[in-house]
Structure formats: structure tokens, C-alpha cells
Amino acid sequence: MGKQRGSESIVSAFVRLTRAEHSVMLALAVIAAEIIAIGRVPGYGLLVLSIIPPILISMGAFAINDYFDISIDRANGKKRPLVTGVIKPKGALRITAMVFFLGIAASAFVNWAAFVIAVIFAALAYLYSYRLKHIPLLGNVYIAFTMVIPFIYGNYAVSYALSATIVFISFVVFLSGLAREIHGMVRDYDGDVHAGRIRNVVFYIGKPRSSQLAFILYIEAILISVFMFFFSVPFRLNLAYAVPIAAVDIMLAYVAVGYVLGRHSEGFFKLSRNLSLGAMALAIIAYLIAGLVFLPI
């Protein structure tokens, strides 16, 4: 790592490099999955230990991604720590190796399933940054899959039996995550074409069909979320789930319809990006609260 440059400290640069703020929602997803899987809050020792591996490995995933993207970030004028020189490329590699090692080592103290998932997550994070992101759609599928991993991991951290509700949540998260990725490709398409680095789904099928595909994915996710309200414990007829999830579904439907209708202004792009991100965060909170509280209709 380099010395402090300008007004940014090493600590601040480390947080920006590893996107440490993302760890909050990731930890909540793991905790929600644990509660849903066993129907109660796990022991606090296990709870704290179990959130350490995904947090550390996620931090390493962001760091290694910035390492491989340094030339692109520099060309795009992004002021990320590796571009500004506050952290050197070798420093990013050391950080990645350190947090990957610590995360995988910590997972071994949870159970063997958590250890296997942690190893796979770390390996895929490296492969994504090194190669997968350049393969049409596969890189987007990986990003959507990373949104699912905390729920699968959280389930297996406390139980070797995979909860049916966690399976349904995984489908909702994956479908909406992939839809959001497709919208991101539509949003960035013109700039990517101008930069000469585009060979993704939008390139092959166009913006309208890509928007329609994302619409279908979002609608499927919404339908599964409604299904869970009627049939999946602990969400069945639970107002603690219904109210926030209704808001989530409305937000995602608005975004999906907007893209299909061809709303491609910068204002809509910014709004839709924030809405979809906010909807996913609200969904995680809904899963967590509904796992803890039952409010009958």
C-alpha cells in the first residue's frame, strides 16, 4: 500500500477499495437466512462467526476487481484508490490474499458446508475479475449469483437441510439481480459502444428485447414473492412480510415497465438504478423482520 496522498487516508482508501459498506446488507442477508432456516435466532457466537467469512471474501472480491480494472478506471477518469495511487496494485493483491485467507479460515470454524461455499465464492470472485466478466451474459449471471450466495451460505451455516423458503428467496434474488444487470447493460450501452468494448446481450438482441427480457425476469421474481406470502413459512399471511414486499414489488414493476416503454433519459436511468437497489435492500430487511416477527392478517 502506498502512503497517504492528497486528503485521503489509507483507511478511507481501504474502505473504498473493498466497498466495506456493502458488507452491512450482506451480513443482514446471512442473518435473515439463518433465522428462516431454523426458525429462530442462532446462538450469538455462531451468528457473529458466520458473518465474518462472507464479509471478508466480499471485500476481497471488490479489491481484486479494481486490480484488474485499473487501466479501464484510469481511462474513464474514475478516482478509485488504485488510480489515485493511495493504494498500489501490489497492495490490492496483498489485501485480496489476506481477506480471502482470513475469510476462508474463519469459515472452517463454522462448518464444512460454509467452508466449501467460502472457497467456491472466493475462487469465482477471482475468475470473474480475471475472465468471466468479459464473456457475454456469463459475467452478469455471476453477479446475480453472488446476490444469492449469502442466503445459501446462511442456511448451511446453521442447517444442512436446505429450506424451501430459502430456495424461493434465491430465485427471487437471482431473477431480479439478473434483470438489474440487463438494465445496467442497456443503460451503459451507448457509452460502451463508443469505447469499443461491447459484446454483451444488448449488442446481440438490442435494447428493446433486452428490456423485455428484464421485464420477464422481474415479473417472475414478483410472482414468486407473492407465492411466498401464501405458502412459505415464515412469510405466509404475515403482514411483516406483505407490507415491505408489496413496496418492493411496486418499485421493481415500475422500473421494469419504464425500460419496456423506452424511458432512456439520464433522469430515469438514475432513478431506476436507485429504486432497484433500494428495493433489493428493502427485500432483505423484509426477510429479516418477517423471520423475527409474525403479524397475522
* CATH architecture assignment, domain 163-297: Up-down Bundle (1.20)
pLDDT number for residue 140: 87
Could you give the CA distance from residue 210 to residue 206 in angstroms, rounded to a whole number? Answer: 6
Confidence class of residue 134 from pLDDT cuts 50, 70 and 90?
confident
What are the CA-CA distances from residue 39 to residues 95, 163, 292 (Å)? 37, 10, 8
Helix, strand, coil % in the chain, rounded to nearest 5: 80, 0, 20
* 3-state SS track over 240-273: HHHHHHHHHHHHHHHHHHHHHCCCCCHHHHHHHH
Could you give the CA distance from residue 162 to residue 182 in angstroms, rounded to a whole number? Answer: 29
pLDDT digits (tens, 9 = 90+) for 187-221: 877 665 555 555 677 878 888 999 999 999 999 99
Who contacts 277 (Cβ-Cβ below 8 Å, separation ≥6)? 180
| pLDDT averaged over every residue in the chain | 91
Could you give the CA distance from residue 98 to residue 100 in angstroms, rounded to a whole number? Answer: 6
Enumerate the CATH 1.20.120 domain ranges in the chain, comma separated: 163-297
* Crossing angle for the helix pair 201-231 and 164-195, to the nearest 10 degrees: 160
Q: Which of 50-54, 81-85, 213-217, 250-254 has the lowest mean pLDDT?
A: 81-85
pLDDT digits (tens, 9 = 90+) for 27-78: 999 999 999 999 999 999 999 999 999 999 999 999 999 999 888 778 767 7
pLDDT digits (tens, 9 = 90+) for 14-37: 999 998 888 889 999 999 999 999
Enumerate the CATH 1.10.357.140 domain ranges in the chain, comma separated: 6-158
User: What CATH class has 6-158?
Assistant: mainly alpha
Q: How many CA atoms lie within 13 A of 30 on its CB side?
A: 30
